[in-house]
Structures are given as C-alpha cells and as structure tokens.
Amino acid sequence: MAALAAWAALAVAGEPHAGLSWGPRLSLTLEATGLARVMAVLVPLVAAAVLAWVAGTGGGHEPRPARLVGVLVAFVAAMELLVLASDLLTLLAGWELVAVCSWVLIGHRYDDADRARSARHAYLTTRVGDVGLFVAAGAALASTGALSYAALPGASGGWLGVAAAGVLVAAAAKSAQLPFSPWLFAAMAGPTPVSALLHSATMVAVGAYVLTRLAPAFGEVAWFGPAVAGLGLATALAAGVVALASVDLKRALAASTSAQYGLILVAIGAGATGAAAAHLVTHAIFKALLFLAAGTIAHVTGGLDLRRIRVGTSARPLAGAILVGVAALAAVPPLGGAWSKEEILASAGHASPWLAAGVVVAGALSALYAARLALLVLRPPHTPPALPGAAEMGPLVALAAASVLLGGLWLPGAGRLVRDVSGGVLTEGAAWELPVSVGALALALMAVSRLARRDRLATGLLPQRVQDVAADWFRLPALGRWAVVSPVMGLSRLAARLDDAVIDAGVRLAATVAAGASRLLSGVAELNLDRVVGAIAGGSLRIAGAARAGDEQGVDRAVEGVATGTSALGSRSRRLQSGFAHHYYLIVAGGLLAVLAVAILGRT
C-alpha cells in the first residue's frame, strides 16, 4: 500500500524523469508522463487487489504461496519499469523481464508436466513476437542514432516503417492478437491470481499500451493505422466466437481478453488513443474482478466447466460481483466499460463506416458471451455451494465498486479529463452510435434469454462442428504446430544428427589422434629422459669414485705424513731435555749465534 500511495503521488505531482547513461547513444530513461502515469498507478492498484485475494484465500489455493507472492511482486516491478520507459532500450529490458516473470508464474506448479509445457508454449509464442521489438530498436538506432521515443518521428526513409512493423508484431504477440491469440489458453495453466493479473493490467496489456504510446510517432507511416485497426477488429470478431464456443469459464474469459484488446487496437488504429487508454483502465478493473471471481467459483464448486457449475444467488456478494463484471464486459450503460466502448465506436465511425459496423458486431458478441457466462454461472444449484469467506470476497467487492465508480465517465466533462490525464485523443461520436449499440445489446440479451429458456446456453449457440473448431481457436494451434513447430523441431533433430555424425565425429577423431600422439610423445620423452638421467647418474658416480680415490691416496696420506713427522720431531725434541746445565748453555749459545748471524745477514 505504501508503494501504491507513492505512485499515486507521482501521478499527480507532475512528470518526473530519471536516466542512466551507458554511453554516447545508449541510456536507460524513465519518465512519468501521460498514459504512463495512469498505468503506473493502475498496475499496483490491481496487483494489490490480487494479492489481497491471495491472502484472503490462504495462498490462492496454491502450493508454495510465498514463492507465488514473491514472483508476483517482481512481475509488478518489471511492469513498472516497462510502463515508465521512455526509450526502446529500457522498454526492451522491462519487456523481457515481464516475459520471464510470466513464464515462472504460469508454470508455478512446475512439478506438473502439462503445466510446465503450457508455460513454455506461452513464453515461446510471445518470444517469437518479441523479435519485432528488437528490429524496431535496431531500425531506430540506425536511422536516428538514438533510442528515445521522442527521436522516432525523425527516422528517415523506410526505417520508420520497419520500426512500426516491428512494434506492431511485438504488440500483437503480447496482447494475444491474431495469429498469436491461442497462447492465452496455454496461460490458463497458471494459478487464478496469475490469470487475473496477466489478463487485466500487466502482460496482455503491454502490447496495447506500447501501441498507444508510440502510435503518434508512426503517424507518417500510411499503412500503420489501417493495419492496427484491421488486426484488432479481426481479433475481436474471431475471439468473440471463440468465447461463445468455450465451455470452460477461464478459457471463455481468456478469449474475451483477446477480443477486448482487439477493440483497443481498433481505437489506436483510428487515431483515438484517449479511447484506447480509457478502455485499458476499465477493462483492467472488470477483467481482474472476473478472473478472481472464477477462482472463487472453482473454490466453492470444485470446477470451471460451464456445463456443470452452478453458483446461484445464495452467496449474494459473489453473485453481485459477477453481475457487475459481466455487465461491464457486455458494455451495459452506465458502467465505465460501456463508456470506453462507445468511445471506441465513435473513433471507428470517424475512420470508416465498415470499421464501425465491425465494432457494433464485436460489441454484440461481447454482450452474447458475457450474458451467457452470467446465466450459466448463476443458475440455481442442485445443492447449495460452500460460501466464500469475507476475506476472499473483499477484493472482489472492491473491484466491483471500482467498476461501478468508473461509471462517472458518463458525466459531463469526463472526456476532457480523460484527454488531460492520458494525453490521448478522443473522437466526437455521431448521434446514431449509442442507440445502435444499445439496440445490439438488447438483441444479444434477448437471444441469450431465449436460449436459456431452451436450456441450450452451454452448447447450443453454434453448430457442434463449428463450436469444436472455434473452441480450438479455429485450429490455429494445429496450424502453428504444422507450419512452425514441426519444421523447427525437424530441423532441430536433423541438426542434432548432423552434429553427432559430423561435428562430434570430428571432435572425437581429433581427441583420438591427440591421445595417440600424446602417448607416443610420452614414450619417446620417457625413453630419452631416462637415458639422460642415467648418463648423468653414471657420470656422477664415476666422479664420486675418483674423488674418493684421490682423497684416500693424496689427502689422507699427506695428513698421516704430517702427523708422523710431527711425532718424530717431538721425540727428538724430548732428547734435549737431559737435565745437564752445560747442554742448556750450549743450546742458548747456539741460538744467540743464529740470531747474530741473521742480524748480520740482514744488514748486508
């Protein structure tokens, strides 16, 4: 909560910025401006509700809750880095960190092989699209010499188009747009709080957020706006059908996520970045509410199969929260989700009547699958389900209240506030748009009510064959396996065999030759060295023998001779000790004569 308060203060205090230089043309820069300020508050706000739900359920009904919460917090930190980035290098750092954290979160139950495989599928699918962001950064650096968002419009020639294409591919992958949409079904392997955070204000939101931030920079690229709007509308329509065909609650909500972000892309392509920003916020609130409600439903009923789960209205807070969430998803006025969807329709109508017609159809599909979910989940149960605790319901009630409060967007002056806060653009709507939207909503609700009376809501909206194909994302996963996965795996196996047969064989041959040469050289060296050492040893022994012989024949004999002579001289000297005085006088006289002779000889 302290972090949330700090970011709230940041959002209203101004537009602070910070940076870290890595060199003349590389730096990490953060800036809280426009939509970045909104997202910097929205992300921890939704995360706080999710973490409160985890605490209220005693760990989100998951093993290793401490690990789960820790990675969720790291995930939020990576998102904050991403949304506050003001250059492509910082954006890439946050982009990759978000991807890694999402992989860890989806595969939280890593001891389950299927969940680990699903986490890898989701991670690798988004990684394919991430290449586009690297291409965009390279194009920007090659053309402008800088990576800042502000420098992008200065890209020359076709470089700006290359950057725009790279950003679009990366954003489409992250926001689960065609043809990348099926990865969201793989992400359903993650725990409920992970799904609530991924689908609301974080992982899936970043593609649409980056497009909203950078769309003005690509204004000179003629094809960019129509391509973004066309991709978004195609995804909104296709995902709407998938949501109608899904018989699993979380999968239906996942398909609706793709559809809602498709509508956001329509607004971006039509130039109404303010409408896109508004729907980012309203969708984040009601989608977090719906996914947490799905987790609670699974807790009290033991499953998520729409053909079997029945919650009823006995748990009134849960039923009320579900009704608010599906009403916002269906764009029922006066909820905030309805206002932002009307702004998207206004932008589409300003761009093209055909685009507006497509948005109306996509809105009708939203109402169909939202009403279907509500009526299936809230059917009277055969046996009363367990009631969720107050701590588990608290975050759901808070998110439902926030979604209701966003209905204030219908008040006069709200459009100006959205423009000022987000820094985006809103388009003036035509008079016919709201009546047409409400009429499409009414028709959808009537159709769902009729099917409910016939007890055909779970499987009767589409023909069985169409439903089976649509529920599997129109066979896109199989197409991906056939067009991408199988060829890549085949090439990998071929490369592995080539590696074993050629590269490893060469390495093994080189190792064998080296070992043989080593043994040969070792034998030669040992032979030669032994001979040298033996010769040196023999010579040393001969020198030692000669020295011993010389010592015995020369030195020892000389010492013995000196000793013998000294002994003989001593014996003769003793003879002078006779005891007669005249002998001593004679010796003294001889000595004096010898001294006198020496003295005389010395003078001459």
Kindly give the residue spans of alpha helices, DSSP state H, lying in 107-204. 113-144, 159-174, 183-187, 192-198
Asked whether residue 555 is domain-assigned, the answer is no
**Does some domain include residue 554?**
no
The model carries a pTM of 0.81
pLDDT at 528: 64
Cα 151 to the chain's mean position, in Å?
26
pLDDT digit string, tens, across residues 505-535: 777 777 788 777 777 776 665 666 667 666 6
Residue 549 lies in a domain: no
Question: Is residue 164 domain-resident?
Answer: yes
Look at residue 561 and tell me if it is in a domain: no
Dist. CA 146–CA 138, nearest whole Å: 10
Nearest to 98 by CA among 47, 34, 158: 47
* Domain span holding position 327: 2-15+32-471
* Residue 450 token pair: 């009729």
Coil vs helix vs strand at 130: helix
How high is the pLDDT of residue 488? 63
In a domain, 481, yes or no: no
Contact assessment for residue 63 and residue 184, using Cβ atoms and an 8 Å cutoff:
no
Which residues have C-beta within 8 Å of that of residue 388, sequence separation ≥ 6?
296, 299, 300, 315, 318
CA distances from 378 to 32, 374, 453, 565 (A): 42, 6, 14, 136
pLDDT at 2: 46
Q: Per-residue DSSP letters for 346-376?
A: HHHHHH-HHHHHHHHHHHHHHHHHHHHHHHH
The count of domains in the chain is 1
Q: Is residue 590 part of a domain?
A: no
- Which residues of the chain register pLDDT less than 70? 1-15, 60, 460-461, 480-481, 483-486, 488-489, 522-530, 532-535, 537, 539-540, 544-556, 558-559, 561-563, 565-566, 568-585, 602-604
Per-residue CA distances from 564 to 427, 561, 568 (Å): 135, 5, 6
- For the chain, helix (H) and strand (E) counts, in that order, are 24, 2
Whether 463 is covered by a domain: the verdict is yes
